Structure 1
Amino acid sequence: MELRHLRYFKAVAENGGFARAARLLNVSQSAISEQIGDLEFELGVTLFDRTNRRVRLTEHGEQFLEDALSVLASAEKAVANIKKALRGEIGTLTVGFFVGGTGTFFPAIIKEFRNRFPDVQVSLAEMAPGMQHRALQSGAIDIGFTRPVQPSDATTLRSEYFLTEPMYAVLLKNHPLAKKRTLLIRELADERFVLNERKYSPAAFDKVITLCGEAGFSPRIGATATVGSGVIALVEAGEGVAVLPQGSKVLISDELVFIPLGDRTAYIDLVIAWAPEHESPILQAFLELARKRRKASAIASL
């Protein structure tokens, strides 16, 4: 039994005759009669009462029609789902992100993607940039909003620039420099620094070290933390000062101040990264939406 048999059977049943079904399907009446005959032989029952001018379903035919329609509907759904999958409209997508690196754009992108592709199951995974890079390589996540990919990962990951964030000094409110409107990194040369641990945020760690080096000193590292919220907590506990990107403002408490750095190179990029070997139509659809959002934001800021 093939789907063709069921389609011919359905056409005859719904149109009340072989001739009408033949015209509808654009095949010869004899071909339909032959296929229905083969189907009845295989099932061992008569599906149609052919004694009247109008062909009618037998009792067995009525029962078989219900199941045949269900099978045909499932087949059509399977074909439609494959076409959706090829267009990136069905399946799963896991997006990596980190708090302090999402801004207002991230929830907007996720919401719009879900509205456009309701049949795609979107999962969000919060993890530090360094962890995202390993998760992308293993396939644990499909795409990530993260910091620039390290040279050691450049052969296995692809990334695109998304936006640039200025860097800020994070100080206790009672710090002698807390009332300044801007700071230069060299003004923090005598301070202890709280940094993101390099294993988890290599780009952020390296940026602070580079800024200090350009100002002619090496920072005294008082403590490190795996995520931005940990860095903030350590600064609030009096373990030192920190230098963090603008997005980390969402983590700041009332006990701290966030002062922009005036150094020419005091900025860090946010990128979208993915593993080429795990690319899919769904991933491409998400990328296209993110690119449009980025372009629209750039135009709006002009």
Structure 2
Amino acid sequence: MELRHLQYFVTVAETGGFGRAARTLHVSQSAISEQIRDLEAEIGVMLFDRGQRQIRLTVEGELFLEGARETLHTASEAVEKVRRAKRGEEGRLTIGFFVGGNGRYFPALIRAFRKRYPRVKVALVEMTPTQQWQALGNAVIDFGFTRPNMGSLVEGVKTEILFKERLYVAMLKDHKLADRKEIPIALLRDERFVLSERVTSSSLYDRVLKLCAQAGYSPNIGATASVSSGVLSLVEAGEGISVVAAGSRFLALNELSFVPLQGAEAYVDLVMAWPIRRTSGPLKAFLELARTFRNAT
């Protein structure tokens, strides 16, 4: 039994005749008659009473009509669902992010995407940059807002720079450098540093060490934390100063000041990453919207 058999049967039942059904479906009347006979032979039941001038459904035909309509409707819905998914209008999307790395761009983008594509089920998962790379490689997430992967390459994952985030020196408000407009990295030579752990954000950690090396010293790292909020809490506790990305300022605590770090290389990349081979309709739609937001910023 094929969907075509059901479509022919429903059309004959609704139009009240083989000729009318043929004109509606733009096929020959003989073709419809043959398909209906095949259908009746397959299920072993007469669906139409052909003894009258106008054919009528048998009792069994009336019961079958209800099921045939439901089946055709379900099939039609399935086809439309697939088409919506291809257009990015329906499906699932799991997005990795890390606090302090996306600023105000991220929540605005998510709100806009949910509004534009309400049928797409979006799951947001907080992960460190390193965890995101592992999740992308293991197909746990579909998309990540992360830092460049400074370790081994993850096969099949494409990246695109979203922003070059300015680096800032985070310090207590009463710090002697807190009133400066910019701070050269050389002025931090004698400071005690609080940094994000390299295992969770290698690109930021390595950038800070590189800048210090260019200034002729190795930083005195007094403490580390796994996330940006932890780093800032340690700075507020008086454990030292830190060099953080611009997005971390939105986690600002009342006792802290953020001063831009001086220099053309005082930045760290924020990237979008996604598996090339699993690029679904919703992912393509999200990527397109993310690019639009980036270009408008």
TM-score (norm 1): 0.93
* Percent identical residues: 55
> Hey, what's the Cα distance between the residues in 1 that align with 2:114 and 2:257?
36
> Hey, what's the Cα distance between the residues in 2 that align with 1:118 and 1:54?
47
Give 4+ residue runs of structure 1 displaced > 6 Å after superposition: none
> Hey, what's the Cα distance between the residues in 1 that align with 2:31 and 2:277?
48
Counterpart of 1:33 in structure 2 is 33
Counterpart of 1:256 in structure 2 is 256
Counterpart of 2:281 in structure 1 is 281
| CA deviation after TM superposition for structure 1 residue 112, in Å | 2.3
- Correspondence 1:136-215 to 2 at 5 A: 136-150=136-150, 152-153=152-153, 155-215=155-215
Report how many aligned residue pairs link the two structures.
Answer: 297
| CA deviation after TM superposition for structure 1 residue 177, in Å | 2.2
1:97 partner letter: F
Partner SS for 1:152: coil
- Correspondence 1:15-164 to 2 at 5 A: 15-150=15-150, 152-153=152-153, 155-164=155-164
| CA deviation after TM superposition for structure 1 residue 211, in Å | 1.4
> Hey, what's the Cα distance between the residues in 2 that align with 1:56 and 1:155?
63
> Hey, what's the Cα distance between the residues in 2 that align with 1:240 and 1:182?
18
Contact in 1 for aligned 2:133/2:154 (Cα 8 Å): no
Counterpart of 2:234 in structure 1 is 234
Counterpart of 1:300 in structure 2 is none
> Hey, what's the Cα distance between the residues in 1 that align with 2:173 and 2:104?
27
After the TM superposition, which of the residue ranges 176-185 and 230-239 deviates more from structure 2? Answer: 176-185
Runs of 5+ in structure 1 lacking a partner? 298-302
1:127 partner letter: M
1:246 partner letter: A
Distance 1:154 1:42, change over 3 A: closer
> Hey, what's the Cα distance between the residues in 2 that align with 1:30 and 1:124?
57
Counterpart of 1:268 in structure 2 is 268
TM-score (norm 2): 0.94
> Hey, what's the Cα distance between the residues in 2 that align with 1:78 and 1:71?
11
> Hey, what's the Cα distance between the residues in 1 that align with 2:264 and 2:296?
26
> Hey, what's the Cα distance between the residues in 2 that align with 1:101 and 1:58?
68
Aligned-residue CA RMSD in angstroms? 1.7
| CA deviation after TM superposition for structure 1 residue 292, in Å | 1.7
| CA deviation after TM superposition for structure 1 residue 93, in Å | 1.0
> Hey, what's the Cα distance between the residues in 2 that align with 1:27 and 1:263?
75
Runs of 5+ in structure 2 lacking a partner? none
> Hey, what's the Cα distance between the residues in 2 that align with 1:38 and 1:52?
21
Q: Residue deviations 1:231-266, cap 9 Å, x none? A: 001111111110101110111111111111223321
Contact in 2 for aligned 1:92/1:121 (Cα 8 Å): yes
Q: Residue deviations 1:258-285, cap 9 Å, x none? A: 1112233211121111222333333222
| CA deviation after TM superposition for structure 1 residue 178, in Å | 2.4
